[in-house]
Structure formats: C-alpha cells, structure tokens
Amino acid sequence: MLPTASGILRSGGVESTRVQTRSAGNGLVALLVIASLAILAGLGNATFWEPDEPRFAEATRQMFHRGDFVTPYLNGVPRFEKPILFYWTQAAAFSAFGDNEFAARLPSALAGIGIVLVLYLIGVEIASRRAALLYFISAMRRRYSGSFSLAKRRCRLTCSLGC
C-alpha cells in the first residue's frame, strides 16, 4: 500500500524538502551579503600598494590609452608574464567605474566573494550546511585579523586565483 500525501508531509517528504531548500537558499544569500559587505567596504579608500597594484592598474590604463586590449604594456614595454584575463576584468571595471583604486581592486574583490561561495558549496557537499557556515565564520575571523582583507582587496592576479 502506498503512503498518503498527508503521511509524506508529516514524515518529512516533499514539503519538508522545499522548506529546507528555501532556508538553505536564505542562508547562502545572507552569507554572500555578509561576505560582500566585508570585502567591498572601503575598497577604493586607500591608495595603491607597492609593488603590484600600481603595475596592474597602469598596464590596464595603458590598454585604454593605446586602444590595444590584446597586449598589455607597462611603460611602453609589453607585459607578457601575466595572463590577459585579469587585465580584461580590470578593464571592464575601469569602463564601468572609471580609472580609480576601486575599479582596479574590484576584480580581486569579486574573486574573493566567489571563493567564499565556492568554499561554502564545497563545505555543504563534503560535510553539512552547518559545517560550511562554521567555516565561513572562522574565515571571517581571519578576515578581521587582517590577512584575508588585505589579500582579497589588493589588485593582484594571485588573489583572483585564490591566494
């Protein structure tokens, strides 16, 4: 004999799964909002930090000046030691927000938010939603200790790749 619909709902069937999925989605949205606020807060307030930030930003600025978005140049010399994708993401940010510190750092900051998302999803898959949230909380503690905030807010290629 097949169970009735009311028996399924009471025993944690389809309706229970929908509620769990909705609450998991709300938790993920809250996680991304908190991570975004933490990483993006004050992103353009400080000047560029030596040595990498000014080099990446200037090479991207020179792409606009030359009109060449295939070969990045720094002080008239081709810059082939770094992949072009980072310069393109910086160029997109420069187009949207202008030539400033915020736009130069935005691709690395967005990559940091993406890393938070990926780590959360891996944590859910490997362990549980609770374990993933605990990992996020510990990462935020690390962020406020300085290393996470400095790494994800600097416009460096390695930060876009996961530091």
Question: Would you state the pLDDT for residue 23?
Answer: 58
* Residue 36: other Cβ atoms inside 10 A: 15
Q: Compute the mean pLDDT over every residue in the chain, rounded to the nearest whole number.
A: 79
> Of residues 2 and 99, which shows the higher confidence score?
99
Question: Would you state the pLDDT for residue 154?
Answer: 61
For the stretch 14-29, pLDDT in tens is: 444 444 555 567 778 8
d(CA 111, CA 46): 19
The DSSP letter of residue 71 is: S
Average pLDDT rounded to a whole number, residues 132-153: 66
* Whether residue 113 has pLDDT greater than 80: yes
Question: Would you state the pLDDT for residue 56?
Answer: 92
* Residue 2: other Cβ atoms inside 10 A: 6
Question: Would you state the pLDDT for residue 17?
Answer: 47
* Whether residue 88 has pLDDT greater than 70: yes
Altogether, the residues listed in the chain come to a count of 163
Listed residue (154, 138, 133) closest to 32, CA to CA: 133
Query: Are the C-beta atoms of 63 and 69 separated by less than 8 Å?
Result: yes
* Whether residue 48 has pLDDT greater than 90: no
Percent of the chain scoring above 90 in pLDDT: 38
